[in-house]
Chains A and B, each alone.
Chain A
């Protein structure tokens, strides 16, 4: 379970996240939508402590931290409970596909080599890239790189996988294979928080859609409500714009 209490993030005087309260159950698939620059990425990055939140408390699994007083150990522990999938894949350029996935098990979880690589191979097979084990990121397509990126996040065995626009950098031809893998994870009830503009994915896969604007949660609910019966004018406005280019 994930719980945010009055989580805020300021950059200097700019308030990017304004006292967010949010609870996400284990196994829940949450899709976050909203206009550009409203703090969607920042929210995910705060959960992974890639940004240090300014105030509030954060609970992931059995760890609760007051973000202002978070110690180094707590920050590491929080990062290890939350896995991140980046828009630009961000695979380790000096490591093969297999090593990218095994890295965390080896270095962070200190698994023995053999066990770590065995597990990494399982994941590689699961994401359909078994034959790419020894390929370096530079030699893989965007879609393959992003699938390895997701594989790396899966290896973490994290409480939640955070996806920040995982298909936005992809050539259209690779989008489906990445969404397909995410759907597979969703069907296994892996807890996920996904920032995306893929509205059909949100409609088909999400248990809950959260609309964020100006650093606040404006409206949330099951996709059927948010997409077909939005209440807030800002949600309506956003959906009108995005659905003009993206049919649900």
Chain B
């Protein structure tokens, strides 16, 4: 085995760094959309809104019960075949859709558990002062549930960042796709992928730091 080509690795860093923003964009937008969707699903499940509740259960079951890669292929290759208006769906859109739906299904369940876990005295107090259900959810229940759900949600975000690497199978040149191209040009696979791995690793580590910081902040109200 040859020694590690360190020079090549260092040279690769600035090249790959240019693709990191797309990776972060996929995960960032995916996370925001997934959160919105997950909150919606969770509220529908908690309030047991007829019809929507049943639909949500099926949606969540499907997106938790099938592999993310299959879902991405469904969106990228399958949807255009079904709906001709979607023939122009690109890899980035398909990936964003896939990540959003896949992770919203998981996140909905943890948000729902956190909502159900909010003490009944809190909801009674909210109702007693005349809040509507919506006001109660927005002002009292969701903020308290967020604190409980945050660690889990951050873990899903980290999972999602790593899952963006699947986008390369849809021809998207994000961090993983770029690495793949570089590696097959230079045949220095180990060097290329170890650089990519370290980049993912650093991003995730930074996020973990942020997570700790957020948890301390959010817990402030609840500590003596």
Asked if residues B128 and A83 are in contact (CB atoms below 8 Å), the reply is yes
Bound-state Cα–Cα, A107 to B133, Å: 12
Q: Given A136-B221, A138-B222, A139-B224, is A94 in contact with B144 using a C-beta cutoff of 8 Å?
A: yes
Q: How many residues of B contact A (CB 8 A)?
A: 23
Q: Given A93-B221, A93-B222, A107-B135, is A86 in contact with B124 using a C-beta cutoff of 8 Å?
A: yes
A22 interface contact, C-beta 8 A: no
B139 interface contact, C-beta 8 A: yes
Asked if residues B131 and A108 are in contact (CB atoms below 8 Å), the reply is yes
A93 surroundings in chain B (CB, below 8 A): 119, 122, 144, 221-222
B195 surroundings in chain A (CB, below 8 A): none
A152 interface contact, C-beta 8 A: yes
A79 interface contact, C-beta 8 A: yes
B125 interface contact, C-beta 8 A: yes
Q: How many residues of A contact B (CB 8 A)?
A: 27
Q: Given A94-B144, A103-B139, A107-B135, is A83 in contact with B121 using a C-beta cutoff of 8 Å?
A: no
Chain A 107-147 per-residue mask, 1 if CB under 8 angstroms from chain B, else 0 = 11000000000000000000000000000101100000000
A91 surroundings in chain B (CB, below 8 A): 125
Closest to A81 in B: B130
Asked if residues A50 and B128 are in contact (CB atoms below 8 Å), the reply is yes
Chain B 48-90 per-residue mask, 1 if CB under 8 angstroms from chain A, else 0 = 0000000000000000000000000000000000000000000
Q: Given A93-B221, A138-B221, is A83 in contact with B129 using a C-beta cutoff of 8 Å?
A: yes
B158 interface contact, C-beta 8 A: no
**Which of A94, A96, A136, A152 touches B129 (beta carbons < 8 Å)?**
A152
Chain A nearest CB, measured from B54 CB (Å):
23
Q: Which of A93, A108, A152 has the most CB atoms of chain B within a 10 A radius of its CB?
A: A93
Asked if residues B143 and A94 are in contact (CB atoms below 8 Å), the reply is yes
A6 interface contact, C-beta 8 A: no
A3 interface contact, C-beta 8 A: no
Asked if residues A86 and B131 are in contact (CB atoms below 8 Å), the reply is no
Residue contacts A-B, CB under 8 angstroms, 5 given? A80-B129, A95-B221, A104-B129, A138-B222, A152-B125
Starting from the known contacts A92-B140, A104-B131, 17 additional A-B residue pairs (CB-CB under 8 Å) come to A49-B127, A76-B132, A77-B130, A79-B128, A79-B129, A88-B121, A90-B124, A90-B125, A92-B126, A93-B119, A93-B122, A103-B139, A107-B131, A108-B130, A136-B222, A138-B221, A139-B223
Residues of chain A at the chain B interface (Cβ within 8 Å): 48-50, 76-77, 79-80, 83-84, 86, 88, 90-96, 103-104, 107-108, 136, 138-139, 152, 156
Q: Which 4 A-B pairs have the closest CB atoms?
A: A80-B130, A90-B121, A90-B125, A84-B128
